[in-house]
Amino acid sequence: MAGRLILILGDQLSMGLSSLRAANRACDTILMAEVWDEATYVPHHPKKIALVLSAMRHFAARLRAEGWRVDYVALEDAGNTGSLADEVARAMGRHGTDHLIATEPGEWRLMRQMRGWPATTLLPDDRFLADRHGFAQWADGRKGLRMEHFYRLMRRKTGLLMDGDQPAGGQWNYDHDNRAPPPGALGLPEPMAFAPDAITAQVLDMVERRFGHHFGDLRPFWFAVTQADAQAAFAHFIAHALPGFGRYQDAMLIGHAFLHHAVVSPYLNLGLLDPLDMCRAVEAEWRAGRVPLNSAEGFIRQIIGWREFVRGIYWWQGPDYARGNVLEAHRPLPAAYWGAPTSMACLSACVAQTRHHAYAHHIQRLMVTGNFALLAGIDPHALHEWYLAVYADAFEWVELPNTIGMSQFADGGLLASKPYAASGAYIARMSDYCAGCAHSPKVQSGPRACPFTLLYWHFIARHADRLRRNPRMAAMVRNWERFSPERQAQLQTDAQAFLAALA
């Protein structure tokens, strides 16, 4: 009797995957396929494509070394149809099997497709700490969803940073300690880098041929592509960057992409790292006295708080969540996001860094590229597709809620309690971008005025009716209404002139 086919997707590179646990090494066959459809449904950054494909090939090699039968379809193999569904059908024919087992995919786009496949068993993806169906039960009927409430639930569930039934240190959240402006550049840690091996070198050559026209620099390529290297990269972060992570996690420094950030989210989202193991390692560093509590808590909150929370929102809300646009923002994505020249030093720096590394940390995404799009009224779906394309860690289940809900407030406040809108003063406080910029937050009008400040007040004015009902934004509306009519008119005129030029 023929064995079954076990499909493993490119972001399911975990030896403890539910479909692998259900498989029989003696008779089942693992299928892994590189397909054109997955590489091009948005124009992914070449580094991201290379990371996923190289990690897949290394994972297949590990499976073979551990005695699994692996049918691996490379992108340039003769006969590759370019479609995941067609490659599954071809493989079932090759192996004479009529039963497919797979772990549920991480995106609605694939879930709807795979649910329609014949003779397919989809198993839950239990690599996360919160079951998505359990999250829906928790969320249903609540007047408002707040990550902080969910986070405390997850702290109690995991026991992380708990002293009995109380939070370690007497507080749940130390975010107020994590807002220091940028440190000096001297002595900043760097993430661990890995030289491409023979497998990665082949992938890089293929990606250059096939996807070299996509936005982004393919080389130098330094990402980890195996579980062992991903674990080494995380250990390096703990030893060298975690102590300063908390205090400086919101800071931005031109020419320094990483500061004290871990830069391991691509590995975590591919399945090469385990979230609970990571959090336990960080907690152990705090309990051993090697890192401050605000650093440990800030990191753990990002993993068991935000990461799990946005995944729950993604599956609970369904595929229509991607089209949320309550602020009726319809402006096209500016060419500056694809590298066209801009007079704004902060936006230019973040886009250039994204082009080079396929990486920007969460404040660069939220408070520069995201904040600008929010203030300028950029179509949130266009911004979502840009984030999904350009960042190595971007998979829709984690990226979409962060964009639609957190960054753009396009869901009307389901995920975030306020729009994350800020003027140029915030960027000046948290970065050194303004020092060499053509604009200044201190200039109130005219061509030297900071576009973030002009657009901030333009945003407040055009959404005043909605924002005055928000307890966290009502004061800003009152501030706007205190401005003289002459100042209001000047701000509106300058903002509209900037938006016209942007178009």
What is residue 344's predicted lDDT score, i.e. its pLDDT? Answer: 97
At residue 179, does pLDDT exceed 90? no
* pLDDT tens digits, 244-267: 999 999 999 999 999 999 999 999
- Domain spans of the chain? 5-123, 132-191+241-308, 335-502
* pLDDT tens digits, 456-496: 999 999 999 999 999 999 999 999 999 999 999 999 999 99
CA distances from 228 to 1, 59, 140, 273 (A): 36, 11, 40, 9
Q: Cα(407)–Cα(401) distance, rounded to whole angstroms?
A: 9
What is residue 52's predicted lDDT score, i.e. its pLDDT? Answer: 98
What is residue 2's predicted lDDT score, i.e. its pLDDT? Answer: 75
Class of 335-502 per CATH?
A: mainly alpha
SS3 358: coil
SS3 252: strand
What is residue 178's predicted lDDT score, i.e. its pLDDT? Answer: 84
Amino acid at the residue 476: M
Tell me whether domains 5-123 and 132-191+241-308 share a fold.
Answer: no
Class of 5-123 per CATH?
A: alpha beta
**Residue 186 near residue 253 (C-beta atoms within 8 A):** no
Half-sphere exposure (Cβ direction) of 180: Cα atoms closer than 13 Å: 16
SS3 338: helix
Pick the CATH number of 132-191+241-308 from 1.25.40.80, 3.50.30.40, 3.20.20.80, 1.10.260.40: 1.25.40.80
- 3-state SS, 34-97, equals CCHHHHHCCCCCHHHHHHHHHHHHHHHHHHHHCCCEEEEECCCCCCCCCCHHHHHHHHHHHHCC
Q: Cα(265)–Cα(191) distance, rounded to whole angstroms?
A: 12
CB atoms within 10 A of CB 463: 20
Backbone phi and psi for residue 71, each to the nearest 5 degrees, phi listed first: -100, 105
Q: Cα(382)–Cα(206) distance, rounded to whole angstroms?
A: 28
Which has the closest alpha carbon to 314: 397, 415, 408, 409? Answer: 397
Element (H, E) at 163: strand 162-163
Q: Cα(217)–Cα(223) distance, rounded to whole angstroms?
A: 13
At residue 325, does pLDDT exceed 90? yes
SS3 241: coil
Half-sphere exposure (Cβ direction) of 426: Cα atoms closer than 13 Å: 17
**Residue 182 near residue 176 (C-beta atoms within 8 A):** no
At residue 397, does pLDDT exceed 60? yes
At residue 1, does pLDDT exceed 60? no
Which has the closest alpha carbon to 326: 414, 410, 418? Answer: 410
What is residue 269's predicted lDDT score, i.e. its pLDDT? Answer: 98
